Structure 1
Amino acid sequence: MRVLLLTHYYAPEVGAPQHRWSALARVLTGLGHELHVLAPPPHYPGGRVLPAHAHLRPGTTATGEHGETVHRVAFRPHTGAIGGRVADEVVVAADVVRRGRSAVLPRPDVVVATAPPLPMLGAGGRLARRLGVPFVAELRDAWPDLLDVADQWSGEEPSRLRRGLHGVSRRARGGVASVLTRQQRRADAVVVTTDTFAEVLRGRDVPTVHVVRNAAHGVSGYAEHVPRVPTAELRVLHAGTMGRSQGLGTAVRAAALAADRGVPVRLRLVGAGAERDRLARLAAELRAPVDVVGPVPHATMGEHYAWADTALVTLRAWPALEWTVPSKLYEVMGLGIHVTAAVGGEAAEIVAGREAGTVSAPEDVAGLADAWERLAADRELLRVPATGRAWAAEHAGTDALGRAYADLLEAVVAGAR
């Protein structure tokens, strides 16, 4: 089977979607399938290609880590602002369609488009129709429902609401939502990452919805978390995207509040994202016990996990995010690290049901500070049973998820034939 993947994010970039498809690529190629990838040069999150990846310019083709063939398409450099990012997404989607129809690429048996960004779904459906092959739409987030809170995407900077997507009217957003729902209904299969969002789409007459969760990616040299010898300081780690949907401003404020109460807490934020600079400014303004660290290679994450007493997983209090499970949750559960989960919905149920950590309501500053105060006072609460690791191994193991995806694609191809 020959699979053509359309994605805005791909290795050697570092991030959740890149890790997801790197793991899936390993399994697909290991099963003997041929995988071609159409993606722009690595330019996340800064909007410009780093010098180390300058050779991966548009128009080049290279063999990926797992034997997949990666074709680089055009993109539009940007500074990270929403308007520039959307323009980049549109340019990438347009060139994906152009390159996908060229004679350079062999005709695939199936086209898979992963979103966000949303223009990639339209590109995938259009390219699949032109090639006369089935189309699989993958939704890593709850779209189109996240459009309902588009006026909150800029976090705590209301002046930005007049720019980019934040200037569109509710009527326009409703039109975009209708288009997305039609695209989902027309796809030969829709892949989502949670059970709850799958049920939502089925209730909207999206006929073929399948769940392939994000994976619990292992960390090189760090197979299982060993709680460190307790000291006075409670160490909290957030490792991953510092984006608008994570709501990490709540964590910074909670750390400041806990410190004001005399709780010896230290929060470390590791990663990149649209909110990183704002979070650093907020921490400095509040004199919060927070360290903001830039992105690090995934292979070196073991040293940060070894430093931590608990791993923070957080989301905004947006209704659509109750159908979302952050990919980082699977990783930290798989390592056996205590989780501080400032989330709701399915993610909260997973943590509470497996006794994997402490659950706090999303965007509740006082509640999160209370949780850290309890953990600092009673370090035995940081010891979690093996149920969380067992659940992650069963439901988020990379090999099982990759085989499930391969079986799904084979069934779609067979159905089309």
Structure 2
Amino acid sequence: MSEAVEIQLQIAGIRGQERGDDHGQAAGIGNGGGACPPTAAPRRELSKRIAWWALVIVNIVFVLAGQSVATLLGRIYYDHGGKSLWMQTVVQSCGTPLAIPLLIYFRTRKSSSSVAAAAAEGSSSRPPVVKLAAIYAGLGVLLAGDNLMYSYGLLYLPMSTYSIILASQVSFNAVFSYFLNKEKLRALVLNSVVLLTFSAALVGVSHGSDGSSGSDIPKGKFPAGFALTLAASALFSLILSLMQLTFEEVLKSDTLATVLEMQFCSNTAAALVSVSGLFASGEWRAIAGEMAAYDKGEVAYAMTLACTAVSWQLCTMGLMGLVASVSSLFTNVIGTVGTPLSPVVAVIFLGDRMDGVKLIAMLMAVWGLLSYVYQQYLDDRHAKAKERGEKSDQQLQATKISAE
């Protein structure tokens, strides 16, 4: 009998909180002194969603801006006398010290705000250091190899062919996300993948037709360039899926501190591998001569490489932030959007010609991006409706027990 009375009091308290009246609060809690206002939970939920979308938008800006500027600077490097493949590989990961101040700040903030919670989390859920070191080192080696293959592809292929092959990244990632990350390939997601693939392919065709593909391509290197660029596209998609798997299954966290930790550690490993390759290949001996022969001067040479490194780090930070907060497929969707965006940057800063094909490609990319974002919205709304249904079922079950 006492259990039935207790259940009835709990049901009355829940109903009173839903109605927001004082009688219900008195039945469930007493005087209601420790109860939260009925609108507090929805407001907190709304503020969380706003903060989440703000973080996603910031990461998207980092990816698009960093990728566009880095691609532009890479083109400037090669156009004005740069020839070192390993140097272009190094600058894609050597800017990792830029993440140290942010990493220290967020780590300190986390420890000062909740020392006990952080200690409990570190002792119970944080993976062993050896395991994390192995994961970050493996990702770093993969990143270094991927960066090198992209550098070779850019040297051995016309820009048109290079851009078309890059469009395969999002398709590769759709496959890896389906098998590794259990990503559901709904109709709007597939529509987004197809549109972005065709959008990037149109950019490649436009590059080939406007005479901007360049004529300094080494003869007989086309097959190697094609194979290396295709392999790099597949490998980069695999890396993004592995990063998402690490966030979900190993780190089990998507905080800024965790994202910065992965960025710093994996890029440090990639930088070490790239620098080792630079010295092992002997290209380091030609750096002084390359700098002296650079068309724009030695200062411009150094500034081009430094700004390229900063741009790639911003892009990497945005990529990892999107992988942690959304998914690897969404991250690759955003990266593919940057392909038709790069010609726009070239039009503004290099005086390239903007034609109808590039404009159509950009509109298709925006359409593809909106398709994916709308699917995210539908999934989020479905999840909320399912959660409300489960709560209603629990209350109905409690009512049946009290009636019995």
What TM-score do you get using the length of structure 1 for normalisation?
0.26
Q: Which one has the bigger helix percentage?
A: 2
Say which structure, 1 or 2, has more relative contact order (CA 8 Å, 6+ apart). 2
Q: Which one has the bigger strand percentage?
A: 1
Larger radius of gyration: 2
